[in-house]
Amino acid sequence: MRKVTLGRSGIEAGDISLGCMRMDGLSLEKATEVIETSFASGIDLFDHADIYGGGKSEEVFAQALKASSVQRDEIILQSKCGIREGLFDFSTNHIMTSVGKSLKRLQTDYLDILLLHRPDVLMEPEEVAEAFSELKKSGKVRYFGVSNHHPLQIELLKKHLTEELIINQLQLSLVHTPMIDAGLNVNMLNEAAVVRDSHLLEYSRLHHMTIQAWSPFQHGMIEGVFIGNPDYPEVNAKLEELAEKKGVTSSALAIAWILRYPGRIQPVIGSMNPERIQQICQASDITLSREEWYDLYRSAGNKLP
Catalytic center residues: 52
* Residues in the chain, total: 305
Radius of gyration of the chain (CA): 19
Q: Where are the beta strands (DSSP E) in 20-74?
A: 45-47
Contacts of 258 (CB under 8 A, 6+ apart): 172, 173, 174, 213, 216, 265, 267
In terms of C-beta density within 10 A (0-12 exposed, 13-18 middle, 19 or more buried), how is residue 196 classed?
exposed
> Who contacts 253 (Cβ-Cβ below 8 Å, separation ≥6)?
239, 242, 243, 246, 283, 286, 296
CA gap 276, 298 in Å, rounded: 26
Give the Cα-Cα-Cα angle 203, 208, 214 (nearest 5 degrees): 75
Residue type, 141: V
Listed residue (229, 217, 113, 210) closest to 171, CA to CA: 217
**Residue 16 phi/psi, 5° resolution?**
-120, 140
Are the beta carbons of 142 and 262 closer than 8 angstroms?
Answer: no
Q: Please, which residues bridge with residue 234 across strands?
A: none
Return the DSSP state at 209.
Answer: P
